[in-house]
Structure 1
Amino acid sequence: MAEDRTARMTPEERRVIFASSLGTVFEWYDFYLYGSLAAIISVQFFSGVNPTAGFIFALLAFAAGFAVRPFGAIVFGRLGDLVGRKYTFLVTILIMGVATFIVGLLPNYETIGFAAPAILIALRLAQGLALGGEYGGAAIYVAEHAPHAKRGAYTSWIQTTATLGLFLSLLVILGCRLSMDKESFESWGWRIPFLLSIVLLGISVWIRLRLNESPLFQRMKAEGTLSKAPLTESFARWGNLKIVIIALVGLTAGQAVVWYTGQFYALFFLTQVLKVDSQTANILIGGALLVGVPFFVIFGALSDRIGRKPIILAGCLLAALTYFPLFSALTHYANPALEAAQERAPVVVVADSAACSFQFNPVGTSAFTTPCDVAKSELAKRGIPYSNAELRAGEETRIEVGSIAVPSFDASDDAGGEARAAFAAALTLALTEAGYPLAADLAAINYPMVVLILFILVLYVTMVYGPIAAMLVELFPTRIRYTSMSLPYHIGNGWFGGFLPTVSFAIVAATGNLYSGLWYPVAIAAMTFVVGLIFVPETKDRALHPEEG
């Protein structure tokens, strides 16, 4: 018999959604604090190396949390299928909360030396493992409590949590910044958001302790049908492994890059490329998130009526087709002076391509000293877009800013740094004369249009993310659901999505094109659209248990 889609949510269902979502919001808050404060953390914990290498180490420590998420999915997914959903995501939130609180107490490099970054990285790994088990538990717990015809609407509340966690972390950081001077915040005030997590942890644990186990898990336990080897059933049997692979390539990979482009890469683009100050950029992103959050639930509920697949794939397709014009429009409205300077006086690096390196050096051991490397690194450091031209015989390596040529130099012969200082001064003069701004003019920003563009990017996020929890839950059988769905979700979001800023930045640095980094999310989103269209089944009418009506 069909269920009444208009029936009101019961108090028990409301409590399940609230408890699961609230705890997950706090967990995402903990996870994103680090990324939002990476620049300060690099100074506090990686000051034993040069500033550039220190920032790279800080970003790598942030990425480490993403890298281990699939392993957390395996560990806690297995536990969830063997022991239960409730107790597993109690463990994950305890690990996350305690690790975050310890970051707030951790002495810096100047106090305890190399032990500081070592402990910090260990804490980040613990957070990543915990997050790998959290999402699957929360999504499954809500789905297995939800009425058959409202599974998309109910689980979509879980989908709001990552965005709300990011929003909460930005809000707390902004509040701390505004309540003290810059020096105090960078010295000790940055610890306050981490320390506050202990309060959030206490609230989350108290609420989750009051919940009952998932009814479907209780039924399987009573029937004696629990899986004895969920890892084997999930990944060693082709029938289920095939679904895991399809879920990764045809759903979560595209969903992940759309999510990270619409929120993280958009923030990076505003601050690093368009030179909008971080406080203004956070407020702009926060405004778009605030307006966009209800659409997670709207698209989740819509998926109960028209299906999960068309909404998710439409979001991927729209993203692939419109990212380039949207980010170009963002430049136009956020930093029109930069756009005008590019058109009036384009920057070109004229060099021998064979002498140019791919300047990605995570361990900070390589020195890039050729004239080409010097020119490109200086432009990348300033966030100046450029194109490349091949050097002809007899010419010198140079940067052309419109009609002005700035010769580069070989840094291996510049022990005192005089040549670099002279080169930097000459380049600054050329860029200034050409109208390249040092920072975005806040008075020239078209705030309504920037927020509108950011909202469109967030809207794509809500399309791909709102229905996906219900779809992943419905793809896999109850006895191995926690293990099976967690792995493709966290490979997609932890690897395809989590490394998006790093990959896109490397592409931009190599090409000099402001928008070339977008090829990564465009290609992945397009791949997911094609694979999903052909291979992913619609799941909205599936029962979660053979006896479900």
Structure 2
Amino acid sequence: MASVQPAQGVGIDPKRDRLVITASSLGTVFEWYDFFLYGILAALIGKLFFPSDNPTAALLASLAAFGAGFGVRPLGALVFGYFGDRIGRKYTFLVTITLMGGATAAIGLLPTYADAGLWAPALLLGLRLLQGLALGGEYGGAAIYVGEHAPKHKRGQYTSWIQISVVGGFLLCLVMVLLVRGSMTTAQFEAWGWRIPFLASLIMLAISLYIRLKLSESPVFQAMKAAGTTSKNPIADSFKPGNYQNLFVALFGVAAGLTVIYYTSQFGTLYFLTGTARVAEMEALLYLAVGALLAAPLYVFFGWLSDRWGRKKLLLAGYALSMLLVFPLFRLMGDGANPALSRATAESPVRIEMPACDFSVFSKSHDTECAKALNLLTKRGISYTKVEAPAVALTVGGQRIEGFDDKAYLAALERAGYPDKADPAEKQPWKIILGVAVMVALSAMTYGQVAAILVELFPARVRYTSLSIPYHIGTGYFGGFLPFIQQYIVVQTGDAYSGLWYTVGVVAMAFVVTLFWLPETRDREITD
């Protein structure tokens, strides 16, 4: 592949550009397949790997481990960002995908808690940390590699393929899980079938490595290397005056906002449908797949639009619409998935009287009456009002039950119209699919141009490091812990929709930072 002198601008070479976009995007598809797989199977993994007789606590522990994988991503950004700016973009993201694929396959070989005791969650956590470390270097490499090959007037469009590949990874993961689950019984899948999607990542790793090995180095990096202008210490140089301010803008104005919108559209929706709306997991995955497939092309459209309209205006519009629509969209999905639950919540509100109760993943015991009562209500997706009292008591539909009695609670809830599962006869799938599709569209509006923004925001000699640090702190902490935080807020407040306030709050912060401090980057040269 012939390099292009950056001083003259990067031209259009259709054959080269297709290879660059395909290799970078396909590798990113496989990377996100690996990471999303854990999120989709979080409830099952919690049951298999964490010691708890309380399913809600096990799920929270599993989500905490999921978040820990994201939490280590900033370290991966530092390590791989350093090498990406020192030795090159190509070889760095070859290492990241190898590490990611290997760690994912290894999860498929782990013993469960029943087989290995506490070693099982410890080994799982270790592999999650390796996945997060690798992903900390993958995105920056792919985004920069495409951005440094793209013509200036098509940079948003070219790099948007990196963003749509995230949806591709999610869809590939959904298809794999659905195929495996559909080919065996539930008992078989929970016993050993869950391992197959993890082990399948070895095939994807081989394909991605084969394609990426055909790539040449970025023309921008080649020119810097030839001129001897590469940074000797990219980490230190990233925090020098004139650049470190943009690190904070990229973190709080770009990465944090778009990430919580994206994860709300995917994991937030999945846990809401299966937990609150009581939709069967395979059915919920199908709704997600159809909705995401319908809206996925918008990632490229909004990338293209940002080349013409501007990155900043599009990002602000996406943030504003997300804050306005997230609650109505989830209520639309709830009404479509389980109308009986919506009616019962409005007509027969639930009140739980209880003393102070430690109901969290950090609690040593989950066998108290208050913990059992909260677990029962949360597991069934029931909203409730908590009232402090000396002892536990449940009031619903005019009936008050003192103490905790699961059979009495379930009978009272059933009489008040609270369904155990969503009724297929009442379900309105179009509402669910519409809600999912619009959430994905909002993600596309904010995420489609992000690679172009970040590539344009930082100078070439420290671009890999400077881009990766804020992006992965934002996605790692604001996004990675989103499922855990949202679920925890729901448990503590009793409102099935209250977790969405986390999304609204983070997006509001991002809107303000973007409005006042993010410059318009669309027409910038990126060779300096």
Residues 238-295 of structure 1 show CA distances to partners (whole Å, capped at 9, x for unaligned) of 3211110011111111111111111110111111001011011000010011011100
Equivalent positions of 1:43-82 (< 5 A) are: 43-47=47-51, 53-82=57-86
Aligned residue type for 1:324: F
Aligned residue type for 1:76: F
In the other structure, the counterpart of 2:483 is 501
In the other structure, the counterpart of 2:8 is none
Q: 2:325 aligns with which of 304, 322, 336?
A: 322
Equivalent positions of 1:28-427 (< 5 A) are: 28-47=32-51, 53-235=57-239, 237-351=240-354, 355-362=355-362, 364-367=363-366, 369=368, 372-389=370-387, 397-408=392-403, 420=404, 423-427=405-409
CA distance in 2, matches of 1:250, 1:461: 15
Aligned residue type for 2:101: G
Task: Assess, with a 3 A threshold, how the Cα gap between structure 1 residues 403 and 51 changes in structure 2: closer, same or farther.
Answer: closer
CA distance in 2, matches of 1:54, 1:492: 26
Aligned residue type for 1:102: A
Aligned residue type for 2:522: K
Offset, 1:20: 0.4
* Preserved contact between residue 60 and residue 360 of structure 2 (Cα < 8 Å): no
* Preserved contact between residue 387 and residue 511 of structure 1 (Cα < 8 Å): yes
Task: Give unpaired runs (5+ residues) of structure 2.
Answer: 1-10
Offset, 1:22: 0.3
Q: Does residue 491 of structure 2 align to residue 491 of structure 1?
A: no
* Preserved contact between residue 101 and residue 194 of structure 1 (Cα < 8 Å): yes
SS in 2 for 1:348: strand
Offset, 1:516: 1.1
More deviation, 497-506/203-212: 497-506
CA distance in 1, matches of 2:53, 2:333: 35
Offset, 1:114: 3.3
CA distance in 2, matches of 1:365, 1:305: 56
More deviation, 212-221/515-524: 515-524
CA distance in 2, matches of 1:535, 1:218: 32
CA distance in 1, matches of 2:47, 2:260: 29
* Preserved contact between residue 48 and residue 109 of structure 1 (Cα < 8 Å): no
CA distance in 1, matches of 2:506, 2:245: 19
Aligned residue type for 1:205: L
In the other structure, the counterpart of 1:475 is 457
Residues 286-338 of structure 1 show CA distances to partners (whole Å, capped at 9, x for unaligned) of 00110111000000000000111111111111111121222122221111100
When normalised by structure 2's length, the TM-score is 0.94
CA distance in 1, matches of 2:515, 2:333: 30
In the other structure, the counterpart of 1:19 is 23
Residues 47-82 of structure 1 show CA distances to partners (whole Å, capped at 9, x for unaligned) of 587655544433222222111011101110011000
| Coordinate RMSD, CA, aligned | 1.8
Aligned residue type for 1:361: V
Residues 510-544 of structure 1 show CA distances to partners (whole Å, capped at 9, x for unaligned) of 11112111111001111111111111100000000
Task: Assess, with a 3 A threshold, how the Cα gap between structure 1 residues 504 and 40 changes in structure 2: closer, same or farther.
Answer: closer
Task: Assess, with a 3 A threshold, how the Cα gap between structure 1 residues 396 and 67 changes in structure 2: closer, same or farther.
Answer: closer
Aligned residue type for 2:236: T
More deviation, 32-41/111-120: 111-120
CA distance in 1, matches of 2:392, 2:109: 49
Alignment: residue pair count: 518
Aligned residue type for 2:400: A
CA distance in 2, matches of 1:116, 1:15: 41
SS in 2 for 1:442: coil
CA distance in 2, matches of 1:469, 1:433: 53
More deviation, 442-451/375-384: 375-384
CA distance in 2, matches of 1:9, 1:534: 37
In the other structure, the counterpart of 1:516 is 498
CA distance in 1, matches of 2:391, 2:77: 54
Aligned residue type for 1:477: P
* Preserved contact between residue 359 and residue 368 of structure 1 (Cα < 8 Å): no
Which structure has the bigger radius of gyration? 1
Percent identical across equivalent pairs? 51
When normalised by structure 1's length, the TM-score is 0.91
Task: Assess, with a 3 A threshold, how the Cα gap between structure 1 residues 192 and 113 changes in structure 2: closer, same or farther.
Answer: same
Task: Assess, with a 3 A threshold, how the Cα gap between structure 1 residues 125 and 49 changes in structure 2: closer, same or farther.
Answer: farther
In the other structure, the counterpart of 1:3 is none
CA distance in 1, matches of 2:159, 2:36: 22
Task: Assess, with a 3 A threshold, how the Cα gap between structure 1 residues 390 and 39 changes in structure 2: closer, same or farther.
Answer: closer
* Preserved contact between residue 256 and residue 478 of structure 2 (Cα < 8 Å): yes
CA distance in 1, matches of 2:474, 2:467: 11
In the other structure, the counterpart of 1:417 is none
Task: Give unpaired runs (5+ residues) of structure 1.
Answer: 1-6, 409-419
More deviation, 244-253/476-485: 244-253
* Preserved contact between residue 143 and residue 473 of structure 1 (Cα < 8 Å): yes
Offset, 1:119: 2.1
Task: Assess, with a 3 A threshold, how the Cα gap between structure 1 residues 331 and 15 changes in structure 2: closer, same or farther.
Answer: same
Task: Assess, with a 3 A threshold, how the Cα gap between structure 1 residues 320 and 62 changes in structure 2: closer, same or farther.
Answer: same
Offset, 1:8: 7.1
* Preserved contact between residue 313 and residue 529 of structure 1 (Cα < 8 Å): yes
* Preserved contact between residue 476 and residue 485 of structure 1 (Cα < 8 Å): yes
Offset, 1:188: 1.4
Task: Assess, with a 3 A threshold, how the Cα gap between structure 1 residues 53 and 264 changes in structure 2: closer, same or farther.
Answer: closer
